[in-house]
């Protein structure tokens, strides 16, 4: 960690330590195997001050995706350097931003690994968020890891800086992308991310899905005794504002369906 000058007015702490995250993202041809981001990877990313203040959390990274006829291992440091031209500036990994004691009291803010967001508080901590089984292979304690033949192997290089700022810099909102797979004749639901104010659903044809805003998880096992329906909409290109709900659910259909969800997140 090193000091970072904040517009010449104060000093805060920032870090640029980079993770090399490697793991499987399922069979590209079978959306039912695609994972969710459920595992956190601890980092040294964070900062603190004596009093609450405004911070800019800026994540940056690169990603490379591979599918092999044989099991794949993480790219070595030499391979990463040699293949710099084949990396995407959009890593698959997410970051989870906790403000103060939010980690114990509320779910963190989750945004994509190429996004920035302004947050207010005295202490900021940031973790990487990845699918289960993904490892930080930059750590010397990492166990050997392979991705099965035919699965999507993802190498992500992910870093983050936390900077104290005197005034807003235009990063009030950030983006969180995800997917939702609904098997045939089955409804599917997703928990609304903390701080979500809008969502866009793709594909956006009117017959691609009828959506319901609910309080309570309709897909819980065993099912909850009741969930409250607080709104509905049909798939549309127009972003939809998020009401006071906990879950977004798509009703059952005879065909299997795959949706991309793009959330606008605000601290």
Give the residue ranges of DSSP H helices in the chain. Answer: 77-82, 102-105
Question: Which pair of structure tokens corresponds to residue 143?
Answer: 């166990």
The predicted-structure confidence for 10-56, as pLDDT tens digits, reads as follows 333 444 579 999 999 999 999 999 999 999 999 999 999 888 999 99
What is each CA distance from 91 to 22, 32, 124, 234, in whole angstroms? 11, 21, 22, 30
Residues in the chain: 267
Q: Is 189:251 a contact under the CB 8 Å cutoff?
A: no
The torsion angles phi and psi of 26, rounded to 5 degrees, stand at 85, -175
Q: How far is residue 123's CA from residue 45's CA, in Å, rounded to a whole number?
A: 11
pLDDT along the chain (267 residues), means of 10: 36 61 96 96 91 95 95 90 80 94 69 97 94 91 88 96 94 96 92 96 72 87 72 84 95 90 95
Collapse the DSSP code of 138 into the 3-class scheme (helix H, G, I; strand E, B; otherwise coil) and give the result.
coil
Which residues on adjacent β-strands are paired with residue 19? 158
The pTM of this model reads: 0.88
Structure tokens at 142: 């990492």
Q: Where are the domains of the chain?
A: 2-164, 173-266
198 within 8 A of 180, measured Cβ to Cβ = no
**Domain 173-266: which CATH number of 1.10.1060, 3.30.470, 2.60.120, 1.10.287:** 2.60.120
CA–CA distance, 100 with 122 (Å, rounded to integer):
6
């Amino acid at each position: 960690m090193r000091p970072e000058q904040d517009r010449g007015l104060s000093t805060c702490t920032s870090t640029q330590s980079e993770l090399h995250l490697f793991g499987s993202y399922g069979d590209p041809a079978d959306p039912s195997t695609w994972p969710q981001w459920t595992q956190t990877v601890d980092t040294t990313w964070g900062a603190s001050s004596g009093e609450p203040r405004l911070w800019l959390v800026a994540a940056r990274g690169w990603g490379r995706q591979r599918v092999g006829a044989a099991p794949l291992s993480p790219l070595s440091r030499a391979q990463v350097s040699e293949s710099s031209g084949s990396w995407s500036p959009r890593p698959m990994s997410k970051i989870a931003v906790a403000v103060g004691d939010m980690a114990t009291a509320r779910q963190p803010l989750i945004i994509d690994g190429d996004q920035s967001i302004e947050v207010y508080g005295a202490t900021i901590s940031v973790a990487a968020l990845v699918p289960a089984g993904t490892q930080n292979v930059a750590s010397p304690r990492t166990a050997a890891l392979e991705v099965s033949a035919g699965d999507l192997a993802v190498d992500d290089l992910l870093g983050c800086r936390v900077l104290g700022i005197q005034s807003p810099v235009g990063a009030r909102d950030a983006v969180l992308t995800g997917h939702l797979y609904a098997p045939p004749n089955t409804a599917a639901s997703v928990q609304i991310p903390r701080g979500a104010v809008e969502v866009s659903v793709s594909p956006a044809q009117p017959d691609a899905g009828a959506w319901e805003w609910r309080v309570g998880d309709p897909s819980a096992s065993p099912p909850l005794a009741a969930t409250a329906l607080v709104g509905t909409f049909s798939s549309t290109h127009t972003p939809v504002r998020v009401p006071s709900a906990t879950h977004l659910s798509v009703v059952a259909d005879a065909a299997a369906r795959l949706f991309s969800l793009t959330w606008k997140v605000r601290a």
